[in-house]
Amino acid sequence: MAENNVASSATILMVGQAAVKVMTFTLNQLLFQYVTPTSMGLTQLIEFVINYVLFLSRESVRLSVPKICISRLFLKPAQRRQLVINFSIIIPVLIFILIGTPLRYYQLGKNQILQNAVWRPQLLSLLIGSSILAELCSEPYYDLNQYMDLNFSKRARIESLASFIKCVTQFITTVFLSKRNAEESFSDSNYVYGFVVGQFSYAATLVLAYMLNYGCICLPTSVGGIWLESGGLSYFKSVFLQQVFKHFLTEGDKFLVNSLLDIQIQGYYSVISNYGSLFARLAFLPIEESVRINVTALFESQTLTSGDKKRLLNESLSIVLKVYIYMLSLLLLFASSSTEFLVGILFRSFQNRNELVSSFKLYWLYVPLLAVNGISEALFNSIFNSPTDVNQYSTLMLVNSLIFFANVLFLLQYCELGLKGLILGNMINMSIRIGYSWYRLRQFIGLQGLQLKRYVGFALACILVHLAQTIAFANGYVSNFKDFVVNLALGCTMLFVIAYNERDTIKRLLINRNSDKQRKIE
């Protein structure tokens, strides 16, 4: 049961998000002739502002909505749905107005390039603010679908459509502006405006698609004189600051990048954070979200004993661990060894690629920590949600924020490590968060149930492949197309090893599939 829930939810989200990432990747390749490090740095800044305001406005709301869905004060589904709508509109819009708008003006206003008259700063700021507000208008539909209807396929379809519209709009706008404003002074603004218009089209498509799908406009209305459900509101108050600290740790490097590094270096960092985390966002984010939803439902259940909950949790975790071990092993083996060759192909227009290559190689060591932290905190937030637990975690986040800031400031200012200093600072702080989460989770997780011995043969295969790479390639890294083909062949060999290691699971899946087909025929 646990295996089916985790696998089906993750598969639906993964397929939808895979399509999104492929489209975005393809778009970036087509637009590289219009890109400079400066324009990438500016879009990195704008994307950071948009994402940060959206995070402040809605992330704590999303964590609080499940409390409304199980409210004991309002038992009728229609009442709960309306309270979810109220919660998902009133709080995000208030946060956007009171916090998001001043923050947006401050972050964009301090950048001298964006204030140049050529950029039309008022129009740019209006487009950015409109895209944020439009995306927040889709939030009630998202929460209804995610937490009450549990329709993952609907979300995947709508987000994929919106991403496709964004890709097309950004490409058309950038090409059109580049032909209309061909002067060199407009070269950076053409790409940035294309990005912002594309972002607005994404938000508009998102809200319109949800609205048409649900056939209604979600507006706040009181339910028995109550606008905001007390349980959800109480949890929101306790978790808001925790999420702010969490976001600072996760994205705090971008705060420091905007303050300490020039805009061209920010462009390089944009490449690393987007391309480097592509694998993590594509493969692990859907799994984290699926685990959080399923484990929350598991521990909210009133019919299961504590022993049953622990057993089902370990079954689910065993499945997730299996996926993580295989994916992360392949990443560490083949991403780092191919980085220099792929960077030379993808970023030929960039000068001084050595910094980019060395930072990428270090980033691949950071991705496993990013993945493990994601699943650790998904489990932690699903199990430990009392006010005491939340306050303790908020304290940890505060202390860790200070450690992170001190680490990165030291590595950037005194050690002069540049982008590598940012990555090292993130690695240190992710390790602290992982350690705390697993320390608290130790009472629920039994290592004997994770069957770690079954991966010994796979570990030996990884060592042999690494030795083969060291022998076959100069300095152990791919330098030409021939080496890349050899590396690809080694990757196929590892896939065969994984298939052999999971032969019993594959046989069971094939038998179940044939049984399902037979039942349909009957």
Do both 414 and 482 map to the same domain? Answer: no
Q: Tell me which range, 118-122, 233-237, 418-422, 475-479, is most confidently predicted by mean pLDDT.
A: 233-237
**Poorest-confidence range of 226-230, 279-283, 332-336?**
279-283
The answer to whether 89 and 168 are in contact (CB under 8 A) is no
Place of tokens 């499940």: 66
Q: Say if residue 103 is in the same domain as residue 197.
A: yes
- Mapped onto helix, strand or coil, the DSSP state of residue 257 is helix
pLDDT at site 2: 47
Burial of 444 (0-12, 13-18, 19+ CB in 10 A): middle
* Residue 159 in this model has a pLDDT that exceeds 70: yes
- 295 shares its domain with 436: yes
Same domain (yes/no): 355, 334? yes
311 part of a folded domain:
yes
Beta bridge partners of 223: 226
C-alpha distance from residue 18 to each of 11, 82, 233, 280 (Å): 10, 32, 34, 11
Residues 406, 457: one domain?
A: no
- 163/25 Cα distance (integer angstroms): 12
Query: Across residues 381-386, what is the average pLDDT?
Result: 80
Residue 229 domain-assigned (yes or no): no
> Are residues 161 and 87 part of one domain?
yes
Cα–Cα distance, 161 to 165 (Å, whole number): 6
Residues 438 and 290 in one domain: yes
Q: Write the pLDDT tens digit of every residue in 445-463.
A: 776 655 667 788 888 989 9
R_g of the chain, CA atoms, integer Å: 24
- Is the predicted pLDDT of residue 300 greater than 90, yes or no? no
pLDDT > 90: what percent of the chain? 16
Position 230 in a domain? no
Are 302 and 424 contained in the same domain? yes
163 and 265 belong to one structural domain: no
Q: Are residues 446 and 458 in the same domain?
A: no
Segments forming the whole domain that contains residue 379: 255-450
Q: How many C-beta atoms lie closer than 10 Å to residue 368's C-beta?
A: 19
Lowest mean pLDDT among 20-34, 113-127, 279-293, 449-463: 20-34
**Do 199 and 76 fall into the same domain?**
yes
Neighbouring residues of 233: CB distance < 8 A, sequence distance ≥ 6: 64, 87
Q: Which residues contact 140 (CB under 8 A, 6 or more apart)?
A: 84, 85, 88, 89, 218
Residue 27 in any domain: the answer is no
- Element (DSSP H or E) covering residue 260: helix 230-260
User: In the structure encoding, which two tokens stand for residue 122, read together?
Assistant: 């008022």
pTM for the model: 0.68
Task: For residue 5, tell me if it sits in a domain.
Answer: no
Please give the pLDDT value at position 156. 81
437 shares a domain with 307:
yes
Q: How many domains does the chain have?
A: 3
> Is residue 226 assigned to a domain?
no
In a domain, 21, yes or no: no
39 located within any domain: yes
